[in-house]
Chain A
Amino acid sequence: MNKKEYLKDKRLYLLIGITIYLVILLILLAFKVNIEATLAITFTYFVGLITILIVDYIRKKTFYNNFKCKLDSLDQKYLIVEMLQDAHFLEGRILTDALYEIDKSMIEKINEYKMQVKDFKEYVELWIHEVKLPVASLTLMVHNQKGDQSKKLLSQLTRLDNYLEQILYYVRSENAEKDYLITKVNLSKVISNVALKNKDILLAKGIDFVVSDVDIEVLTDSKWLEFIINQIVDNSIKYSKEQNAYIKIVAKDENKVIRLIIYDNGKGISKSDLPRVFDKTFTGTNGRGESAKSTGMGLYLCRELCNKLGHKIQIISEEGKYTKITILFDKNTFFHIDKE
């Protein structure tokens, strides 16, 4: 707020003030008041008028400038209510009270939605655990009634389970506070679980699974890491080439970090797709092909979960040649707080 704006805003009051002065002047002239008295009255009148304007201007200027300045510097604009100073004039008080009421009702509304989302997530999680029971039951039934179709049925059940895991970890990645536990985990154990999960399809497709030097301990949540590696291996299987395909997993213990490298000699990813593979629901040219439909969630979830766990994930690829994904585990003492 500056003087010019203020005067422009008050031009109606100024007009009324001047009109009243002119009326007073006419009355003074009509009563033939002498010139000294007229000048004194004129002087007093204008001093009064200007003083009122100046006092009003200063009060409003301090309040509104303070308001604007704080609003501009705030990241979350709705927090302005907490920062306001008391207004010493009516309009200011009306404004602060109104803002307070608006904020309160907005927070109530947000909480309502938060609760809804939370309820929904809890239901989804519960539901997934329920659905896993018939999946487990079906797996056992297929095993008990071995026939020509067994392998096909099992591979479809595995697919079903994979999709269930994806949504489970999607829900978990959104509210992760309570769901993970960082402990010392041996990489070979996690990789062994992933290998067993994918054994049948790897053997059926003739993909060699080569693992070396993974007897290393890292700080992570073993379930989450298993999910992440499973997603990566699942992609490697989906986009493998027809002949002599292999997946190599190797871990390297370096100075400050441990690298887990998952390398495959599959179809690779084109240069234009590569920067976006970690984006949510992004399906590159591979994922849209007829051989394998992609949901665009796998790698997105990998990165999300890695971020939450404090790992870094990197991808390098050359179309038609290879894909190499590296997960970096910090050896930082950051996670050792519990021991101190």
Chain B
Amino acid sequence: MTKIKIIEDDLSIANELKEILENAGYLAEVTEDFSTILDQIRKEQPDLILLDINLPKINGEILLQQIRKESNIPVIMVTSKNTEVDEVLSMSYGADDYITKPYNPTILLLRIGAVLKRSERSTDKIIYHNLEVIPQKGIINQENKEIILTKNEMIIFLYLLQHQGKIVTRDELMTDLWNNDEYINDNALTVNISRLRSKLKEIGYEEAIETRKGQGYILHE
């Protein structure tokens, strides 16, 4: 399970964040003692760190520099300081992303997903049963058959693949699409999903995507 360390001095935010991350299937750890952060990181070996800039006893940017001296753990800066200077500084110290408060939680999860994916560097191909999904080319291979997906269909399918067996809301799909610069409306989303379904039907996956009324969609494992 992916372990995320939350370094945030506002306890209310930290605990809500923990809940969100745990609901999304991560293992989240809230920092309580800020004087021994580095030791904690060494011991816990998290897969990703969410780091605030304004911390008691230590500045987040300085802490980031210290972390970078000994490891390449992905770090996302999460702060209420939304100036270009802070962002540029953080990125130059080796942060993987920079998000300002207040943020949309769905977007935060997308960014976390993107940063983790980047650090794995192995998503050229995704296997789903006997299908081989190649996002870069926008195609699905099945033995000697090939199906071409549009960009929007691929974004939707990938999101469903990453959340197999869980209910995915329309809002989450919409956020992911908008996050990928595809600013489509509700009707277009419905159309894209039904097109995706009919394409999956061609290769025998008619029932793969199920609609849960009033909740969203689910891709069966």
Interface, chain A (partner B; CB < 8 A): 129, 132-141, 143-144, 157, 161, 179-181, 183, 188, 192, 195-197, 199, 203, 206, 208-211, 221-224
Contact = CB atoms under 8 A, between A and B. Distances in A.
Given A137-B16, A183-B84, A223-B87, A132 B179 contact: no
A248 to B, nearest CB: 11
Interface of B: 10, 12-13, 16-17, 19-20, 23, 54, 80-85, 87-88, 101-107, 174-175, 178-179, 181, 183, 185-186
Contacts, number: 89
A136 B101 contact: yes
Nearest to B106: A143
Contacts of B102: 132, 135-136, 138-139, 157, 161
- Among A196, A197, A223, the one with the most B-chain Cβ atoms within 10 Å of its Cβ is A196
A133 B10 contact: yes
Nearest to B186: A203
Contacts of B101: 132-133, 135-136
A195 B20 CA distance: 23
A179 B83 contact: yes
Nearest to B170: A203
Contacts of A206: 185-186
Nearest to B85: A181
Given A132-B80, A133-B13, A136-B80, A183 B183 contact: no
Given A161-B102, A197-B104, 14 more contacts: A129-B81, A132-B102, A133-B10, A133-B101, A137-B12, A140-B16, A143-B20, A144-B23, A180-B83, A195-B178, A196-B175, A222-B87, A223-B84, A223-B87
Contacts of A135: 101-102
Contacts of A203: 174, 185-186
A199 B174 contact: yes
A223 B88 CA distance: 11
List the 8 closest A-B pairs by CB distance, nearest first. Answer: A140-B16, A136-B102, A136-B101, A132-B80, A209-B183, A181-B84, A143-B105, A137-B12
Given A129-B80, A179-B83, A199-B175, A139 B103 contact: yes
B103 A136 contact: yes
A208 B184 CA distance: 7
A222 B84 contact: yes
Contacts of A181: 83-85, 88
A144 B84 contact: no
- Among A129, A180, A199, A210, the one with the most B-chain Cβ atoms within 10 Å of its Cβ is A199
Contacts of B183: 195, 209-211
20 contacts: A129-B54, A129-B81, A132-B101, A135-B101, A135-B102, A137-B10, A139-B104, A140-B16, A140-B19, A143-B20, A144-B23, A179-B83, A180-B84, A181-B83, A181-B84, A195-B183, A197-B104, A203-B174, A223-B87, A224-B84
Contacts of A208: 185
B85 A196 contact: no
A12 to B, nearest CB: 69
Contacts of A192: 178-179, 181
A192 to B, nearest CB: 5
Contacts of B107: 196
B8 to A, nearest CB: 10
Nearest to A204: B186
Nearest to A144: B19
A143 B18 CA distance: 12
Contact of A144 (B20, B83, B181): B20
Nearest to A172: B83
Given A139-B103, A140-B17, A221 B84 contact: yes
B82 to A, nearest CB: 6
A305 to B, nearest CB: 12
A180 B83 CA distance: 7
Contacts of A132: 80, 101-102
Given A136-B103, A139-B104, A192-B181, A183 B13 contact: no
Contacts of A140: 13, 16-17, 19-20, 105
Nearest to B89: A181
Nearest to A138: B102
A338 B107 CA distance: 35
